Structure 1
Amino acid sequence: MAFRQLWWSLAVSNVCDGVRLAALPVLAAACTAQPLLVSAVVVLPRLPWLIAPLLAVPIDTADRRRFLAAADLSRGVALLAAAAVALLAGVSIPLLIAVGVVLGVGEVYFNSALTAMLPAVAPADRLLRANARLATTETVAQSAGHPLGGFLAGVAAAAPLVFDAVTYFGSWWFVRQVPPQVPVPNVAARGDGLR
C-alpha cells in the first residue's frame, strides 16, 4: 500500500515536471526575444541538481515522508503565487526564473527522498522491480507532461502554473497517505560491506 501511494505521487509529480519543462520556455519566449534570457529560464532551475548531494544530506536522518510532503507543498504554493502575479501583473523573466528555481529545489528534495524511502516501502526481493517501475513511470509521466505544458502555455500564461499547483497538491495528498517510515540505516555509516 505504501509503495502504491508513493508510485502515484511520483507519477503525478512528474507530470507536473513535464508541464513545467515545456511551459516555462514557451512563456519566456512570449516575454522576450532575447535567447539568453529564455536560456536562463531553462538552465537556472536545473542548477540545484549540481548541488543535490549537499541539499539531500538531511534526508538520510529524517522522516523522508516529510521531505516529500514539503517539496510538494512548497512547489504548489510557489506556483499559486506565481499564477497570481501572472494574472495581476503579467509574466516576466524574473518571475519565471524564481518559480523555476523553487521548483528545481523541490524536485531535488522530492526525488532524493523518494529514492531513499524506497527500501523502506518495498520488500527486498521486489526492490529491483519497484525501482524499475518508478523509473519507467517517471519517464512516461514527464513525457506526457511536455505536450500538455505546451498546450496550457498556449491557452493562457497562468494556465500551466495553476495546473501544476493543483497537481502538486494532489501529489502531496498521495504522500500524506503513506505511513511514517523509519529511515533505513546508511550502510556506509555502519561500515557494513566496507571490510
Structure 2
Amino acid sequence: MRALVSARLGADFTKLWTASAVSNVGDGVTMAAGPLLIASITTNPALIGGAVFVQQLPWLLFALISGAYVDRLDRRKLVVAVNTLRAAALTALTLAVATDTTTVALVYAVFFLLGTGETLADTAAGAFLPAIVASDRLATANARLMATFTIANQFVAKPLGAWLFVIAAAVPFGVNALTFAVAAALVATIRPIPALPPVAPRRSLRMEITDGVRWLFGHRLLRTLAVSMGLANLAFCAAFATLVLYARQRLGLSDIGYGFLLTTFAVGGLIGTVLAPRLQRIVGTGTLLRAGLVVELVTHATLAITTTPLVAAAILIAFGIHTMVWGVVVVTLRQRVVPTQLLGRVGSVYSLLDLGGAALGSLLGGLLAGAWGLTTPFWVAAAVMALIAAATWRPLRTASAT
C-alpha cells in the first residue's frame, strides 16, 4: 500500500502521511487519557470540562496569527519545530504524572500548549501539501489524510489511550510525546522546497492578517463556503451539544449504546474518504456541495422526528459520509485557488469561522434544549440549514468551474 502511494503521490507525501498517522494515534490517546487524568485529580465538573476548553481556546485566540506566521516561515521547518515542542511539553507532563506531582494547572498549561501548537502545525501542513502533491492529485491526498485521521484517531487511539491509562497513568502521555517526536523526524526528511513560501517584503502582522481576511471575503465562492459552514457548524453543534441526553431519553439507549451511536460518525467518515475523490470526478464539486447541504437538513429533521435507534444510526452514517466528502472537496478547492503565499492566512480565517460557529452552537444548544426540549435544537438546525441551502444554492453552482 505504501509503495503504491509513493508511486502515485510521491515519497514526500508518504512521509507526511505517515507522520500524520503516527501523530493522530498520539492525539487520540491523549484525548482519551486526558479526561481520565483530570478526573483522577479533581471531581469538580467545571475543572474537568475546562481541560477540553483550554485545548480549543488557542484556535479562537491565535488562529489568525498562526496563519500569518505560516505564510511568513518555512512551513516544513515550522511543522518540525512545533511537533518537537509538543513532544517536550508531553514529556514534562509524563514525568509529572509518573512522579505523582501533577496539578490541574500543569495539565491545563500543557493542553493549552498542545492546542497552540495545533493551530500552527495543522495550518502549516494544509498549506504545505500543494507544494509536494500535484494539483490533480490533491483530492486523493486529502482523502487519504482524512481517512488516516478517522482510523488512527477515532477507531484505534481512543480505546488504546484508556487501556494504557489503566496500565499506568503516565504511559499514554509518554506515547504521545514519542509520536510527536517521530512525526517531527519524518517531516524533517521531506525535501526542502525553495519556492515555498516566496520571499516578500516584511509588513506588520496586522496588515498580513488583513490581507488573508480580504482575500477570502473577496472570493465569492470561498466566502460563501466559509460563512455558510460557520452558520452550519453553529446549527450542528447546537443540535449535538446534548446528544448524550438525546440518546438516553429520546432513543432509550444505554451508555454503551450511546458509545456505539458515536461510532456511526467514524464509520460514515471512513466511507466518505474513500468515495470523495471518485464522487468529485463523477458528479462535480458544485453538485456535491449542494447535496451536502441537503444531507445536513435531512439529518437534523430526521433526528428531530425519530425515536428509533437504527434510524438515527443510519442517518448519522450518511451524515458522516457527507462531512468527509465536504471536507475533502472544500480543502482541495481552497488549496487549488488560494495563492501559495496566502494559504496559511486564508486557511486560518476559514478555521476561525468554523470553530467560532461550533463554540457558539455548543453554548446555544444547551440553552435551547433546557428551555424547550431535546428535539428543539434539531428543529432549529433543520430550519437554519434550509435557509443556508436557499441562500447558497446559486453561488455553489459555480464551484465545479473553479
Both proteins in one fold, TM over 0.5: yes
Change (3 A) 1:131 1:166: same
Alpha-carbon distance in 2 for matches of 1:86, 1:58: 33
Q: Which amino acid aligns with 1:122?
A: V
1:99-153 per-position Cα deviation (integer Å, ceiling 9, x unaligned): 1111111122111111000100001111111111112212222112111111122
Alpha-carbon distance in 2 for matches of 1:141, 1:57: 29
Q: Which amino acid aligns with 1:16?
A: G
5+ unaligned residues in a row in structure 2: which ranges?
A: 1-10, 199-337, 343-402
Residue equivalent to 1:180? 192
Alpha-carbon distance in 1 for matches of 2:108, 2:192: 34
**RCO greater where, 1 or 2, for CA within 8 Å and sep 6 or more?**
1
Q: Which amino acid aligns with 1:17?
A: D
* Other structure's SS at 1:157 match: coil
Alpha-carbon distance in 2 for matches of 1:166, 1:47: 25
Alpha-carbon distance in 2 for matches of 1:35, 1:64: 39
1:155-187 per-position Cα deviation (integer Å, ceiling 9, x unaligned): 222111111111111111111110112325662
2:35 paired with 1:42: no
- Contact 1:68 / 1:109 at 8 angstroms: preserved in 2? yes
5+ unaligned residues in a row in structure 1: which ranges?
A: 191-195
Residue correspondences, number: 190
Q: Select which of 158, 175, 189 maps to 1:163.
A: 175
- Contact 1:32 / 1:38 at 8 angstroms: preserved in 2? yes
Identity %: 37
2:40 paired with 1:30: yes
2:76 paired with 1:65: yes
Alpha-carbon distance in 1 for matches of 2:20, 2:186: 9
Task: Compute the displacement of 1:53 (Å).
Answer: 2.3
Task: Compute the displacement of 1:188 (Å).
Answer: 8.5
1:20-62 per-position Cα deviation (integer Å, ceiling 9, x unaligned): 1111101101111111111111111111122312222111132
Alpha-carbon distance in 2 for matches of 1:92, 1:145: 25
Task: Compute the displacement of 1:189 (Å).
Answer: 6.7
Alpha-carbon distance in 1 for matches of 2:106, 2:341: 41
Change (3 A) 1:180 1:189: closer
Alpha-carbon distance in 1 for matches of 2:23, 2:341: 31
CA RMSD of aligned residues (A): 1.7
- Contact 1:16 / 1:167 at 8 angstroms: preserved in 2? yes
Residue equivalent to 1:112? 123
Task: Compute the displacement of 1:11 (Å).
Answer: 0.9
Task: Compute the displacement of 1:86 (Å).
Answer: 2.0
Deviates more, 1:29-38 or 1:127-136: 127-136
Change (3 A) 1:157 1:90: farther
1:55-75 per-position Cα deviation (integer Å, ceiling 9, x unaligned): 221111321111110111001
Q: Which amino acid aligns with 1:187?
A: P
Alpha-carbon distance in 2 for matches of 1:54, 1:156: 38
Alpha-carbon distance in 2 for matches of 1:10, 1:18: 12
Deviates more, 1:117-126 or 1:177-186: 177-186
- Contact 2:79 / 2:187 at 8 angstroms: preserved in 1? yes
Q: Which amino acid aligns with 1:167?
A: T
Alpha-carbon distance in 2 for matches of 1:169, 1:189: 28
Alpha-carbon distance in 2 for matches of 1:183, 1:189: 8
- Contact 1:120 / 1:184 at 8 angstroms: preserved in 2? no
Residue equivalent to 1:13? 23
Task: Compute the displacement of 1:90 (Å).
Answer: 2.8
- Contact 2:94 / 2:174 at 8 angstroms: preserved in 1? yes
Alpha-carbon distance in 2 for matches of 1:69, 1:153: 27
Residue equivalent to 2:350? none
